[in-house]
Amino acid sequence: MKQFLLVFLGGGLGSGLRFLLGKTFNNTFQNFFLGTFIANIIGCLLIGFIIGLSFKNNLLSSNQTLLLSTGFCGGFTTFSTFALEQHSFLKTGDFVNFAGYTLASLIIGILAVAAGFWFSK
Protein backbone atom coordinates (compact mmCIF):
# COMPACT_ATOMS: atom_id res chain seq x y z
CA MET A 1 0.00 0.00 0.00
CA LYS A 2 2.91 2.35 0.74
CA GLN A 3 4.27 1.93 -2.79
CA PHE A 4 0.84 2.66 -4.28
CA LEU A 5 0.63 5.88 -2.27
CA LEU A 6 4.11 6.93 -3.39
CA VAL A 7 3.20 6.42 -7.05
CA PHE A 8 -0.15 8.17 -6.48
CA LEU A 9 1.50 11.20 -4.87
CA GLY A 10 4.27 11.46 -7.47
CA GLY A 11 1.81 10.99 -10.33
CA GLY A 12 -0.46 13.72 -9.01
CA LEU A 13 2.40 16.17 -8.73
CA GLY A 14 3.69 15.28 -12.19
CA SER A 15 0.23 15.55 -13.78
CA GLY A 16 -0.38 18.92 -12.12
CA LEU A 17 2.90 20.29 -13.39
CA ARG A 18 2.23 18.95 -16.90
CA PHE A 19 -1.18 20.68 -16.83
CA LEU A 20 0.48 24.00 -15.94
CA LEU A 21 3.06 23.61 -18.72
CA GLY A 22 0.30 22.86 -21.22
CA LYS A 23 -1.75 25.88 -20.13
CA THR A 24 1.32 28.09 -20.33
CA PHE A 25 3.01 26.92 -23.53
CA ASN A 26 0.65 24.94 -25.78
CA ASN A 27 -0.65 28.08 -27.47
CA THR A 28 2.79 29.70 -27.84
CA PHE A 29 3.38 28.44 -31.37
CA GLN A 30 0.64 27.76 -33.87
CA ASN A 31 0.43 24.06 -34.69
CA PHE A 32 3.01 22.93 -32.14
CA PHE A 33 2.22 21.64 -28.66
CA LEU A 34 5.22 23.12 -26.88
CA GLY A 35 3.95 22.42 -23.35
CA THR A 36 3.57 18.69 -23.99
CA PHE A 37 6.89 18.61 -25.82
CA ILE A 38 8.66 20.34 -22.91
CA ALA A 39 7.07 17.96 -20.39
CA ASN A 40 8.06 14.88 -22.37
CA ILE A 41 11.67 16.01 -22.92
CA ILE A 42 12.18 17.13 -19.31
CA GLY A 43 10.56 13.89 -18.17
CA CYS A 44 12.98 11.88 -20.32
CA LEU A 45 15.92 13.80 -18.88
CA LEU A 46 14.63 13.33 -15.33
CA ILE A 47 13.94 9.61 -15.62
CA GLY A 48 17.42 9.02 -17.01
CA PHE A 49 18.90 11.03 -14.15
CA ILE A 50 16.74 9.34 -11.49
CA ILE A 51 17.44 5.81 -12.70
CA GLY A 52 21.11 6.69 -13.11
CA LEU A 53 21.29 7.91 -9.51
CA SER A 54 19.41 4.87 -8.32
CA PHE A 55 21.42 2.20 -10.13
CA LYS A 56 24.87 3.67 -10.65
CA ASN A 57 25.39 5.61 -7.45
CA ASN A 58 22.85 3.88 -5.20
CA LEU A 59 21.84 7.33 -3.91
CA LEU A 60 18.08 6.72 -3.96
CA SER A 61 16.09 4.09 -2.11
CA SER A 62 13.68 1.89 -4.03
CA ASN A 63 10.77 3.93 -2.60
CA GLN A 64 12.34 7.23 -3.68
CA THR A 65 12.98 5.82 -7.15
CA LEU A 66 9.38 4.62 -7.35
CA LEU A 67 8.01 8.01 -6.24
CA LEU A 68 10.15 9.93 -8.71
CA SER A 69 10.31 7.66 -11.78
CA THR A 70 7.04 5.71 -11.88
CA GLY A 71 5.07 8.35 -10.00
CA PHE A 72 6.31 11.81 -10.96
CA CYS A 73 7.78 11.06 -14.39
CA GLY A 74 4.87 8.76 -15.24
CA GLY A 75 2.37 11.51 -14.40
CA PHE A 76 4.46 14.30 -15.89
CA THR A 77 5.01 12.75 -19.31
CA THR A 78 2.21 11.49 -21.45
CA PHE A 79 2.01 9.37 -24.53
CA SER A 80 -1.77 9.63 -24.75
CA THR A 81 -1.69 13.44 -25.05
CA PHE A 82 1.12 13.18 -27.57
CA ALA A 83 -0.94 10.71 -29.65
CA LEU A 84 -4.03 12.95 -29.44
CA GLU A 85 -2.04 15.95 -30.62
CA GLN A 86 -0.56 13.89 -33.45
CA HIS A 87 -4.08 12.84 -34.44
CA SER A 88 -5.06 16.51 -34.74
CA PHE A 89 -2.18 17.06 -37.18
CA LEU A 90 -3.30 14.10 -39.29
CA LYS A 91 -6.94 15.16 -39.16
CA THR A 92 -6.08 18.59 -40.58
CA GLY A 93 -3.60 17.19 -43.11
CA ASP A 94 -0.65 18.93 -41.45
CA PHE A 95 1.88 16.24 -42.32
CA VAL A 96 4.93 18.52 -41.96
CA ASN A 97 4.21 19.30 -38.29
CA PHE A 98 3.18 15.69 -37.71
CA ALA A 99 6.55 14.45 -38.95
CA GLY A 100 8.56 17.20 -37.26
CA TYR A 101 6.86 16.78 -33.88
CA THR A 102 7.19 13.00 -34.02
CA LEU A 103 10.87 13.02 -34.98
CA ALA A 104 11.78 15.80 -32.54
CA SER A 105 9.97 14.08 -29.66
CA LEU A 106 11.58 10.71 -30.31
CA ILE A 107 15.11 11.85 -31.08
CA ILE A 108 15.37 14.57 -28.45
CA GLY A 109 13.57 12.35 -25.91
CA ILE A 110 16.07 9.53 -26.36
CA LEU A 111 18.97 11.99 -26.20
CA ALA A 112 17.48 13.50 -23.02
CA VAL A 113 17.34 10.07 -21.34
CA ALA A 114 20.99 9.52 -22.26
CA ALA A 115 21.86 13.00 -20.93
CA GLY A 116 20.04 12.21 -17.70
CA PHE A 117 22.16 9.10 -17.24
CA TRP A 118 25.27 11.12 -18.01
CA PHE A 119 24.33 13.87 -15.49
CA SER A 120 23.80 11.24 -12.80
CA LYS A 121 27.48 10.24 -12.87
Residues of the binding site for Na(+): 74, 77
**Residue 117 — φ and ψ, nearest 5°?**
-60, -45
Q: Find all residues with CB under 8 Å of 113, minimum gap 6, and list them.
A: 44, 45, 47, 48
Between CA 14 and CA 17 the distance in angstroms is 5
Between CA 10 and CA 72 the distance in angstroms is 4
Decide: 3 and 66 in contact? Cβ < 8 Å.
Answer: yes
Binding residue positions: 74, 77
Amino acid at 100: G
